[in-house]
Structure 1
């Protein structure tokens, strides 16, 4: 596999480091990527070479550029389709592409269900951000790390807390975004006693690393079902919290009363091992297909 060309994603113009965190986690499991392609413009790639691309993550801001060009030999794992793109994904061209490269590994059961409804073979792969290794020990002088939490939390949490955000200027170069994402993961691993977050791709890698996670979100949000499936509770957090509402303080106190502030890390190690093994086996099977049909175009 070392001689196969792999490409990764870039996320030009976007402001969420969660995208880069997903790529970092995935790229630990494959040979070094030779090139990066804009995830949202895969259909515009003009390159005579062929690259294996692990199609993990959120699709897409630009559905008009799906399916990818022939440069991309896709391996679908951790694939999520946002609600606004299903009309495009349900067109004959996209359905044929997905069927050709099936089975499709889905990040969440909602995506798997929707693919089944259009006749595409799929399976529930979960997300490769769950494959990070468990940290060796908890920090002796750590912090409660609050990631994109826009409301006050109880004093016993805030008094030993630092606030962090996954938002970043869309104008920052991609190299710097990837470096910042790496630093965030290292901060969580080495310094977090507890993570409280509204960010899926903070919660998933943190849980994989054995960090206690409190997640604030909408339990009915189809994007978040994976959290419940691995044992991370989704604490109901309405999107319409308004400091000017008369009920704001009561709303905050209600949330505080419902959260288990002494949450333990989830035990995901056995499933993590199985997930990595299945990823490697399915990827090797895809490489075998690629070698069969494109024997002269994939060797570096």
Structure 2
């Protein structure tokens, strides 16, 4: 039987490279490194040869396009069903699909509890990106520090505006250097965003870290790529950068989980009371990370004591709880491909 791999649509925000990183995690286990590409949002339309498909990741942006075609033999592993499609996924034809292909390996406990409520047999697997060290790990580390889509809570009102003005006057050179790397544009909005970013992250990072950090976005404009091959290549490029980094700071789970797997010290930025569409993904994932906690505009990290900050010489090691989960999911995927 031929092998297939998930590809993805552009959204209003562009392309989420984290989706393709999830596919790279699946691709490393395939026998054929040039598999048939099937759009995650059109699995029901596939009408080619019978294929095996590792169905890891978020299902689905458009719930009406589920369940998949009968010509797809799925491995439901690292599977996340988002709260945004629960009403559709309770339909008889969708529940029947899951029962036909059970047990379902769930990426998070939210998905596991939802499927169990529908009478589907399932188990927890964590995320397949925890296995990316199989192909992309590096023994050589450099001094690069990556901030990948670092989210934070923005304050509003008069005090906020006064604080921005104070920072702009007292820290103008520092703010200018950070803006040139963080935003890479010159308009009023870029200054406001940089000032809000600096006000938040200067609480726990030295200025030298923020000035020398490399800033990466996981949402890419639609016009950056010509085809899927270029997108996959860019995903691999990012993985190799993360693999060699000194450490990574991110609010993207598909930067944090791969970095964890690759042996790169990782700080995950947690946004409490986030929208349920986002937060429902994290129960069973967030526990693996060292966390930067955000409480309003206040940031803190359990790795820091008193008034310490992360500096250019700071070092720390990751938790190792994920290793057992990684080995179990790896075996599941290898057995599916072999059989």
TM-score range, shorter chain: 0.7 to 0.9
| 2:7 paired residue among 5, 10, 16 | 10
| 1:208 paired residue among 251, 261, 268 | 261
Residue 214 of structure 2: SS of its match in structure 1? Answer: strand
The residue number in structure 2 matching 1:65 is: 65
Shift of the alpha carbon at 1:199? Answer: 0.4
Shift of the alpha carbon at 1:263? Answer: 3.9
Larger mean CA deviation between 127-136 and 109-118 belongs to 127-136
Aligned residues: 265
Q: Is the 8 A contact 2:54 2:74 kept in 1?
A: yes
Cα RMSD for the two superposed structures: 2.2
Matched, 1:81 2:134: no
Q: Deviations over 1:53-102 (max 9, x none)?
A: 11101111111110011121111011101111011110011001110011
Distance 1:68 1:275, change over 3 A: closer
Question: Which whole-Å CA distance do the structure 2 matches of 1:204 and 1:176 have between them?
Answer: 22
Q: Deviations over 1:138-185 (max 9, x none)?
A: 52x421100012523331421331111111123433221111111100
Q: Deviations over 1:213-270 (max 9, x none)?
A: 11112356221223333x30343347xx7xxxxxxxxx2xx20466644542232445
The residue number in structure 2 matching 1:137 is: 139
Question: Which whole-Å CA distance do the structure 2 matches of 1:71 and 1:129 have between them?
Answer: 26
Residue 52 of structure 2: SS of its match in structure 1? Answer: strand
Residue 149 of structure 1: SS of its match in structure 2? Answer: coil
Structure 2-normalised TM-score? 0.72
The residue number in structure 2 matching 1:218 is: 271
The residue number in structure 2 matching 1:291 is: none
Distance 1:217 1:53, change over 3 A: same
Higher relative contact order structure (alpha carbons within 8 Å, sequence separation ≥ 6): 2
1:83-162 to structure 2, matched below 5 A, reads 83-133=83-133, 135-139=137-141, 141-149=142-150, 151-152=197-198, 153=201, 154=205, 155-162=207-214
Q: Is the 8 A contact 1:212 1:266 kept in 2?
A: no
Question: Which whole-Å CA distance do the structure 2 matches of 1:83 and 1:70 have between them?
Answer: 25
- Which segments of 5 or more consecutive residues in structure 1 lack a partner in the other structure? 242-250, 288-300
Residue 145 of structure 2: SS of its match in structure 1? Answer: strand
Runs of 4+ in 1 over 6 A off after TM superposition: none
Question: Which whole-Å CA distance do the structure 1 matches of 2:138 and 2:42 have between them?
Answer: 39
The residue number in structure 2 matching 1:199 is: 252
Structure 1-normalised TM-score? 0.81
Q: Is the 8 A contact 1:43 1:67 kept in 2?
A: yes
Q: Is the 8 A contact 2:115 2:122 kept in 1?
A: yes
1:3-42 to structure 2, matched below 5 A, reads 4-14=1-11, 15-32=15-32, 33-42=34-43
Shift of the alpha carbon at 1:209? Answer: 0.7
Q: Deviations over 1:8-61 (max 9, x none)?
A: 1111324100000000011111222531011011111222x2111111011111
Larger mean CA deviation between 103-112 and 210-219 belongs to 210-219
Distance 1:274 1:92, change over 3 A: closer
